[in-house]
């Protein structure tokens, strides 16, 4: 029952918590529910270890009782006050009220589903939420006393039976109305009770989590913690002045959610250059923000359909296992063998990217399309050969990846303080110098493709006009269509109409396909011109002008 649709309903409502999957409520378990993941650094051992910190089951008796009331069909009592009566036997409401006075925000910083953009707020002061619950409960009871549920049920049953109001009703129909009214009343009571039950369960999860974080922070050897904070969060943890790690997260924002590990060495952000060769997944604007990015692996169906771009990536609390392990390994590699850290996270990373790009530029067009293009830019067979399509798609991949790496030059130059980067820059310059004439040649080919598709578009539209206005000597489709609407067609004329209609339909489908081809050719041509311009602009800069 939607109370907000009933006249006189209270303005304040309890959030529809009962709509949440139980995996986030009664059945929630694992990281940031049962335990926190953390990193511990012992200065005397000069070593970082991963550990679990158990989250205490505070108010477990309340959890179990609320779970029981929620599960019982008649657990809320005939007046709907069973939850309130139980809470009055505990101190949890008082504790929540006192806690609310010690914090700035009205609600817990607790993201229920780290991947979903629609996040309920878990208000700290339980008493305020219970007062809202009682107002809504009182309103439902008032509706019941005023025969609201009886009248609504009566109208529904009379409408379904085709009976008019005002007639004397049989005992059976009257009993049906009474039964339906009672069921509607109980359903309304149960609905708001279930919402308040789930709110209490979420309150317990959030409270336990926040208390565990407070306890963890008391141990100075605990240098990093898992969390489920809503929105932007980027706590920075320092091993020493030369090495820091940061878990940069944006939980609870749907496609805008992210989960990054960032490492800083001597004030320089470690950049994941190798991600760039993960075409279709890598995003230059994102890559500037992380050293390692965490997302769930795409499903087999998503891979099959080519749905592996940024909008199909999801995150979860379980990714903390991988993130904490990566952070631990990086910290210990730095602490025990700094040169090996530089080699793995800087030299091999940068060198690996350049080596992959050197292979890509010489990879066959067919292999490039098979490996990187997925289902992007589909073409019909009306204007272009299969070889032409493969070639233009392949050059877009090569242009994107090889000219795009020029956007990392500033990151590479920053590494000069740690390693010599001259050889890498020279290899990148050589790659782009080799790519530029390839792009220019493809641009010429694309312009020829564009001219052909423009001609095909014009010819197809012209033919559609001829079929509609001129026809084939036996009549035109426009006149025959009007004639059919007014007086019908003889069998001979109907045959002409069907032939012209089919030709027009076929041309219309063809026009749709070649217009898509036209749009794709234009997009690919603009891309290639942009890649060429990008190379020219970077070569004109001071560093490349000296090469």
pLDDT of residue 10: 81
- Show which of 284, 308, 336 is a domain's final residue: 336
Q: Is 545 domain-assigned? A: no
Helix/strand number for the chain, H first, E second: 18, 9
Q: Is residue 342 part of a domain?
A: no
- β-pairing, 222-225 vs 292-293, is unpaired
Q: Are 14 and 133 in contact (CB under 8 A)?
A: yes
Q: What is the per-residue DSSP string for 495-542?
A: HHHHHHHHHHHHHHHHHHHHHHHHHHHHHHHHHHHHHHHHHHHHHTSH
Query: Is 404 within a domain?
Result: no
* pLDDT at residue 543 tops 70: no
pLDDT at residue 254, rounded to an integer: 87
Return phi, psi of residue 73, to 5°.
-60, -40
Share of the chain above pLDDT 90, in %: 67
Q: How far apart, in whole angstroms, are the C-alpha atoms of residue 543 and residue 420?
A: 15
User: What percent of the chain stands above pLDDT 70?
Assistant: 93
**6 in a structural domain:** no
CA distance 228 to 202: 13
Average pLDDT over residues 381-403: 91
> Which of 58, 70, 59 is CA-nearest to residue 17?
70
Asked if 199 and 291 sit in the same domain, the reply is: no
pLDDT beyond 60 at 542 = no
Q: Which whole number is the average pLDDT over 344-365?
A: 95
Judge if 187 and 269 occupy the same domain.
no
The region of weakest confidence among 11-20, 59-68, 149-158, 427-436 is 11-20
Expressed as residue numbers, the domain containing 479 is 455-529
Specify the pLDDT at position 302: 44
Per-residue confidence band for 349, with pLDDT thresholds at 50, 70 and 90: very high
Predicted confidence at residue 283, as pLDDT, reads: 75
Residue 68's pLDDT band (cuts 50, 70, 90): very high
* Together in a domain, 196 and 47: yes
Evaluate whether 321 touches 226 at the Cβ level (below 8 Å).
Answer: no
Residue 375's pLDDT band (cuts 50, 70, 90): low
Mean pLDDT value across residues 343-372: 93
Q: What is the domain count for the chain?
A: 3
Domain boundary among 285, 302, 336: 336
Residue 80 or residue 310, greater confidence: 80
Residue 502: other Cβ atoms inside 10 A: 11
Q: Containing H/E element for 41? A: strand 35-42
How does residue 307 score in pLDDT terms, banded at 50, 70 and 90? very low
For position 304, what pLDDT does the model report? 47
| Position 388 in a domain | no
pLDDT reported for residue 312? 56
Is residue 422, in this structure, part of any structural domain at all? Answer: no
What is the average pLDDT across 311-333?
Answer: 91
At 172, the pLDDT band (50, 70, 90 cuts) reads: confident
Residue 162 has pLDDT above 90, yes or no: no
- Give residue-wise pLDDT tens across range 86-129: 999 999 999 999 999 999 999 999 999 999 888 899 999 999 99
pLDDT (tens digit per residue) in 17-47: 888 999 999 999 999 999 999 999 998 899 9
212 shares its domain with 235: no
Does residue 284 belong to any structural domain of this protein? yes
Same domain, 158 and 110: yes
- Kindly tell me if the per-residue pLDDT of 373 is higher than 70: no
- Residues 431-484 have pLDDT tens digits of 999 999 999 999 998 889 999 999 999 999 999 999 999 988 888 999 999 999
241 and 188 fall within a common domain: no
Q: Three-state DSSP class for 222? A: strand
- pLDDT of 279: 65
When mean pLDDT is compared over 306-315, 429-438, 473-482, 537-546, the highest value belongs to: 429-438
pLDDT at 406: 93
The larger pLDDT score, comparing residue 136 to residue 312, is at 136
Is-contact 3 140, C-beta < 8 A? yes
Q: From the CB of residue 259, how many other CB atoms can be counted at a distance below 10 Å?
A: 25
Q: Please indicate, yes or no, whether residues 295 and 196 belong to a single structural domain of this protein.
A: no
Query: Do 176 and 193 belong together in one domain?
Result: yes
If pLDDT is split at 50, 70 and 90, which confidence band does 165 have?
confident
Has residue 370 been placed in a domain? no
Same domain assignment for residues 180 and 283:
no
81 plus 188 within the same structural domain = yes
Last residue of a domain, one of 224, 254, 281: 224
296 pLDDT higher than 90:
no
Q: What number of other Cβ atoms are within 10 A of residue 142's Cβ?
A: 11
Do 184 and 304 lie in a common domain?
no
Model confidence band, residue 298 (pLDDT cutoffs 50, 70, 90):
low
Q: Are residues 39 and 187 in the same domain?
A: yes
């Amino acid at each position: 029952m939607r109370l907000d649709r009933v006249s006189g309903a209270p303005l304040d409502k309890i959030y529809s918590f009962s709509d949440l999957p139980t995996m986030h409520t009664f059945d929630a378990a694992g990281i940031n529910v049962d335990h926190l993941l953390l990193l511990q650094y012992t200065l005397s051992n000069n070593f970082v270890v991963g550990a679990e910190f158990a989250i205490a089951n505070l108010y477990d008796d309340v959890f179990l009782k609320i779970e029981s009331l929620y599960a019982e069909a008649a657990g809320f009592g005939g007046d709907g006050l069973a939850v309130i009566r139980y809470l009055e036997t505990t101190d949890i409401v008082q504790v929540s009220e006192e806690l609310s006075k010690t914090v700035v925000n009205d609600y817990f910083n607790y993201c229920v589903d780290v991947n979903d953009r629609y996040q309920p707020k878990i208000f700290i002061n339980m008493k305020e939420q219970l007062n809202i619950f009682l107002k809504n409960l009182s309103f439902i009871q008032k509706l019941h006393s005023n025969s609201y549920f009886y009248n609504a049920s009566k109208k529904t049953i009379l409408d379904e039976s085709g009976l008019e109001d005002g007639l004397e009703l049989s005992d059976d129909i009257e009993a049906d109305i009474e039964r339906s009214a009672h069921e509607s009343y109980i359903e309304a009571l149960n609905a708001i009770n279930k919402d308040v039950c789930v709110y209490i369960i979420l309150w317990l999860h959030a409270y336990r989590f926040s208390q565990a974080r407070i306890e963890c922070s008391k141990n100075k050897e605990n240098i990093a913690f898992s969390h489920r904070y809503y929105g932007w969060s980027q706590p920075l943890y320092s091993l020493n002045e030369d090495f820091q790690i940061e878990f940069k997260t944006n939980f609870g924002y749907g496609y805008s959610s992210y989960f990054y590990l960032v490492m800083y060495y001597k004030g320089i952000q470690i950049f994941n250059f190798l991600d760039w060769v993960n075409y279709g997944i890598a995003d230059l604007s994102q890559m500037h923000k992380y050293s390692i990015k965490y997302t769930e692996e795409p499903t087999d169906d998503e891979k099959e359909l080519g749905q592996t771009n940024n909008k199909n990536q999801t995150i979860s609390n379980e990714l903390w296992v991988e993130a904490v392990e990566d952070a631990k390994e990086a910290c210990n590699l730095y602490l025990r063998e700094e040169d090996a850290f530089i080699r793995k996270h800087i030299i091999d990373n940068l060198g690996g990217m350049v080596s992959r790009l050197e292979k890509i530029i010489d990879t066959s067009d067919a292999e490039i399309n098979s490996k990187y293009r997925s289902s992007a830019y589909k073409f019909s067979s009306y204007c272009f050969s299969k070889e032409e399509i493969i070639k233009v798609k392949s050059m877009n991949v090569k242009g994107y990846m090889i000219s795009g790496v020029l956007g990392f030059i500033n990151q590479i130059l920053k590494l000069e303080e740690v390693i010599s980067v001259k050889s890498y820059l020279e290899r990148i310059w050589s790659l782009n110098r080799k790519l530029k004439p390839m792009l220019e040649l493809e641009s010429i080919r694309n312009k020829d493709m564009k001219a052909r598709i423009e001609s095909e578009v014009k010819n197809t539209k012209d033919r559609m006009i001829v079929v509609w206005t001129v026809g084939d000597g036996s009549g035109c489709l426009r006149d025959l269509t009007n004639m059919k609407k007014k007086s019908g067609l003889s069998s001979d004329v109907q045959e002409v109409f069907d032939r012209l209609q089919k030709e027009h339909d076929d041309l219309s489908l063809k026009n749709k396909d070649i217009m898509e081809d036209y749009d794709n050719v234009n997009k690919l041509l603009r891309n290639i011109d942009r890649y060429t311009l990008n190379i020219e602009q970077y070569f004109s800069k001071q560093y490349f002008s000296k090469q």
